[in-house]
Amino acid sequence: MANFWSRWHISLSTWFKDYLYIPLGGNRVSVLRNYLNIFVTFLVSGIWHGANFTFVIWGGLHGLYLMVEKYLGIHKSKTRSKLSIGNIIMVVVTFILVDFAWIFFRANSVQEAILIVSKIFTDANSPLFIKWDVFFAAGIALSILFTKEFIEEFFPTKFSLL
Query: What is the C-alpha separation between 33 and 135, in angstroms, rounded?
Result: 40
Query: What is the C-alpha separation between 97 and 37, in angstroms, rounded?
Result: 21
Q: How far is CA 75 from CA 69, 105, 144, in A?
A: 6, 25, 26
Q: What is the pLDDT of residues 13-28, one digit of tens each?
A: 999 999 999 999 999 9
Q: Where are the alpha helices (DSSP H) in 17-131?
A: 31-49, 53-72, 85-106, 110-121
49 is catalytic: yes
> Which of 9, 49, 62, 75 is the catalytic position?
49
Query: What is the C-alpha separation between 22 and 28, in angstroms, rounded?
Result: 9
Query: What is the C-alpha separation between 55 and 49, in angstroms, rounded?
Result: 6
53 pLDDT exceeds 80?
yes
What is the model's pTM? 0.74
pLDDT at res. 78: 56
Q: What is the pLDDT of residues 86-141, one digit of tens each?
A: 777 788 888 888 989 999 999 999 999 999 888 777 766 766 565 556 666 777 77
Q: Is 9 left (phi over 0), alpha (psi -120 to 50) or beta?
A: left
160 pLDDT exceeds 60?
no
> Which positions ≥6 away from 50 have C-beta within 8 Å?
none
| Residues above pLDDT 90, as percent of the chain | 44
Query: What is the C-alpha separation between 12 and 132, in angstroms, rounded?
Result: 38
Q: How far is CA 147 from CA 83, 144, 150, 162, in A?
A: 11, 5, 5, 11
159 pLDDT exceeds 90?
no
Of 31 and 142, which is predicted with more confidence? 31
> Which positions ≥6 away from 99 have C-beta within 8 Å?
none
112 and 106 Cβ atoms separated by less than 8 Å: no
Query: What is the C-alpha separation between 75 and 69, in angstroms, rounded?
Result: 6
